[in-house]
Amino acid sequence: MSEGDIETRVRKIVVEHLGVEEEKVTENASFIDDLGADSLDTVELVMAFEEEFGIEIPDDAAETIQTFGDAVKFIKEAV
């Protein structure tokens, strides 16, 4: 799985779950501050990442995933 591929798939999940424009999902975009998510949305996002990539993201790690970039970085290391 290429790194670009991971980024594309993560972006697709974020766009679908948060109903935001693809262009807004940038490296530093915060799910809560920039993309309109609430705390429940972020729980669901993390679940969607787990599902898509067949990984487990523990709760303490999930709390550190605040931005699109955080998510991509974590997943690249986990897969």
Partner 1 sequence: MRRVVVTGLGMVSPLACGVEPTWRRLLDGQSGAGTISRFDASHLATDYACEVPRGDGSDDTFDADAWMEPKEQRKVDDFILYGVAAADQAIADAGIGDASDEEKLDIGVMIGSGIGGLQSIAETAVMIKERGPRRVSPFFIPGALINLVSGQVSIKHGFKGPNHAVVTACSTGAHAIGDAARLIQLGDADVMVAGGTESPISEIGIAGFNACKALSTKHRNDPERASRPWDADRDGFVMGEGAGVVVLEDYERAKARGAKIYAEVIGYGLSGDAHHITAPPPDHEGAERAMRAAVKRAGIDPSQIDYINAHGTSTMADTIEMGAVQRLLGDAAKNATMSSTKSSTGHLLGAAGAIEAIFSILAMRDQVAPPTLNLESPPEDAVIDLAPLKKVERKIDCVLSNSFGFGGTNAALIMRKVDA
Catalytic residue numbers read 38
Residue number with CB closer to partner 1 (50 or 70): 50
Tell whether residue 58 is a contact of partner 1 (CB under 8 A): no
In degrees, rounded to 5, the angle at the alpha carbon of residue 31 between the alpha carbons of residues 64 and 11 is: 100
Residue number with CB closer to partner 1 (23 or 40): 40
Query: Which listed residue (19, 55, 61, 79) binds partner 1 by CB under 8 A?
Result: 19
Tell whether residue 18 is a contact of partner 1 (CB under 8 A): yes
Q: What's the chain's length in residues?
A: 79
